[in-house]
Amino acid sequence: MELEKKKIKSYDRLIFGFIVIFLLSMTNSIFFNQIGYFGALLVLLIKWYKSKEKIFSNVGLEIPFILFLIAELISALFSWNQSQAFANFSKRLLLIPVVYLIAFTADDIKKAKAYFNIFISAAVITVLVYLGFAYRHYILQLYQLESKGPSPFQYVMTAGGLMSFIVVILFSFIVNEKSELKIKLLQVIGFVISLIALISSYTRAAWLGAAFGMFLILAIKRKWFVLLPAVLVIILFIVFSKSESKILIYHVNNEPPNLIKELNTDGRARDVFPINSDTLLVADYEEGIKLIVDDKVIQTIPTPSPATRTWHWKNNYYVVYLIDSRQFLLRMNDTLNVVKIFTSPGLTKDLELKKEKYFVADYDTGLTVFTLEGDSILSKTYSELIGITRIDFQDSILTAYNAKSSSLNFYRFDNKLKLIDSINIETGIGLLWIHQGHTFFQTESELLHFYVTHNEVKTLDSYNIQGLYRMRFLGSRLYGITTNGELFKGLITEDNFAINKIYECGIVPSDFHFRDSTIYLTMSKRNRILSMIDPYHETNLERINQWKTGWNIFKDNPLFGVGDIDLKEVYAHYKEYYLKENFGHLHNNYVHFLVILGGFGIIIVFYLLIKIFLTHLKIYNSVKQIPFASSYTLGALASFAGFLVSGLAEWNFGDQEIITIVWFLLGLNIAFYRSLKIDSKIK
For 180-232, the pLDDT digits (tens) are 899 999 999 999 999 999 999 989 999 999 999 999 999 999 988 888 887 88
Identity of the residue numbered 508: V
- Half-sphere CA count of 27, side-chain side, radius 13 A: 26
Cβ(605)–Cβ(593) below 8 Å: yes
Burial class (CB in 10 A: 0-12, 13-18, 19+), 479: buried
Q: Is the pLDDT of residue 237 over 80?
A: no
Q: Is the pLDDT of residue 9 over 90?
A: no
Strands of the sheet containing 431-435, edge to edge, are 431-435, 438-442, 447-452, 457-463
Of the pLDDT bands very low, low, confident and very high (cuts 50, 70, 90), residue 179 is confident
Burial 250-281 (b: 16+ CB within 10 A, else e): bebeeeebeeeeebebebbbbbbbbbeeeebb
Phi-psi region of 366 (alpha: psi -120 to 50; beta: other; left: phi over 0): left
d(CA 309, CA 271): 5
Q: Give CA torsion, residues 383, 386, 392, 396, to 10 deg.
A: -30
- Per residue in 337-378, pLDDT (tens digit) is 999 999 999 999 999 999 999 999 999 999 999 999 988 999
- Per residue in 370-408, pLDDT (tens digit) is 999 988 999 999 999 999 999 999 989 999 999 999 999
The C-alpha angle with vertex 421 and arms to 417 and 424, in degrees rounded to 5, equals: 120
Per-residue confidence (pLDDT) for residue 496, from 0 to 100 = 82
- Per residue in 266-303, pLDDT (tens digit) is 889 999 999 988 999 999 999 999 999 999 999 999 99
Q: Is the pLDDT of residue 683 over 60?
A: no
Instruction: Give the pLDDT mean for 40-47.
Output: 91
- The strand pairing partners of 200, in sequence order, are none
Per-residue confidence (pLDDT) for residue 679, from 0 to 100 = 47
Cα 11–chain centre separation: 42
- Per residue in 241-250, pLDDT (tens digit) is 677 889 999 9
Of 19, 12, 158, 16, the C-alpha closest to 664 is 19
Per-residue confidence (pLDDT) for residue 529, from 0 to 100 = 64
Q: Is the pLDDT of residue 156 over 90?
A: no
Cβ(480)–Cβ(468) below 8 Å: yes
Per-residue confidence (pLDDT) for residue 4, from 0 to 100 = 66
- Half-sphere CA count of 239, side-chain side, radius 13 A: 6
Q: Is the pLDDT of residue 3 over 60?
A: no
Of 171, 12, 104, 167, the C-alpha closest to 672 is 104
Identity of the residue numbered 153: F
> pLDDT higher for 5 or 304?
304
Per-residue confidence (pLDDT) for residue 146, from 0 to 100 = 74
Of the pLDDT bands very low, low, confident and very high (cuts 50, 70, 90), residue 549 is very high
Burial class (CB in 10 A: 0-12, 13-18, 19+), 680: exposed
Cα 325–chain centre separation: 19
d(CA 131, CA 127): 6
- Per residue in 418-464, pLDDT (tens digit) is 999 999 999 988 999 999 999 999 999 999 999 998 889 999 999 99
Give kind and range of the element (H or E) at residue 263: strand 258-264
Residues of the chain above pLDDT 90, percent: 72
Per-residue confidence (pLDDT) for residue 339, from 0 to 100 = 95
Per-residue confidence (pLDDT) for residue 128, from 0 to 100 = 95
Per-residue confidence (pLDDT) for residue 287, from 0 to 100 = 93
Cβ(187)–Cβ(177) below 8 Å: yes
d(CA 635, CA 629): 10
Per-residue confidence (pLDDT) for residue 678, from 0 to 100 = 58
- Per residue in 309-348, pLDDT (tens digit) is 999 999 999 999 999 999 999 999 989 999 999 999 999 9
Cβ(118)–Cβ(24) below 8 Å: yes
d(CA 292, CA 450): 39
Q: Is the pLDDT of residue 680 over 50?
A: no
User: Tell me, what DSSP letter sits at residue 334?
Assistant: S
- Per residue in 574-623, pLDDT (tens digit) is 999 899 888 999 999 999 999 999 999 999 999 999 999 999 999 999 99
Per-residue confidence (pLDDT) for residue 296, from 0 to 100 = 94
Q: Is the pLDDT of residue 236 over 80?
A: no
In 453-504, DSSP assigns E strands to: 457-463, 468-474, 477-482, 486-492, 497-504
**Mean pLDDT, all residues of the chain:** 91
Q: Is the pLDDT of residue 47 over 70?
A: yes
In 140-223, alpha helices (H): 142-146, 156-176, 181-201, 204-220
d(CA 523, CA 485): 10
